[in-house]
Amino acid sequence: MEKQTPDTEIGPEVFETLKYIIDPEIGINIVDLGLVYTVSLEGDNLHVQLTLTTPGCPMSGTIVMATEQILLKRFPDLNAKVELVWTPMWTTDMISEEGMQQLNSMS
């Protein structure tokens, strides 16, 4: 479910960077799990919307902080802001093909 505003050339680079954040329970990165909903850039403000596999997930603070930290490190000239959202609710249909392959390879 990768979405970007049309003029966000930085989008693919952001998604690639966020693949370093691994969901600690599942062991798959948050991009291939479909947790990153949107990436947008307005001026110097980089805005990322992401969700979690379940509301109230105890890892929410950790994942949000990790996302912000990695974006600040990778794009030091931008103001990165990460927003946690619950709608649309995450379902397993949002897992990418690569993510499904990783899940299946774990069996």
Q: Does 39 bind other proteins (CB under 8 A)?
A: no
Q: Does 10 bind other proteins (CB under 8 A)?
A: no
Q: Are 47 and 81 in contact (CB under 8 A)?
A: yes
Separation of first and last alpha carbons in the chain: 25
Q: How far is the CB of 14 from other proteins (least distance, A)?
A: 12
Cis ω on the peptide bond leading into residue 88 (within 30° of 0)? yes
Q: Does 58 bind other proteins (CB under 8 A)?
A: yes
- The dihedrals phi and psi of 93, each to the nearest 5 degrees, come to -65, -20
Residues that bind other proteins (CB under 8 A): 16-17, 19-22, 24-27, 29, 32, 37, 49, 53-70, 73-74, 83-88, 91-92, 95, 98, 100, 103-104, 106-107
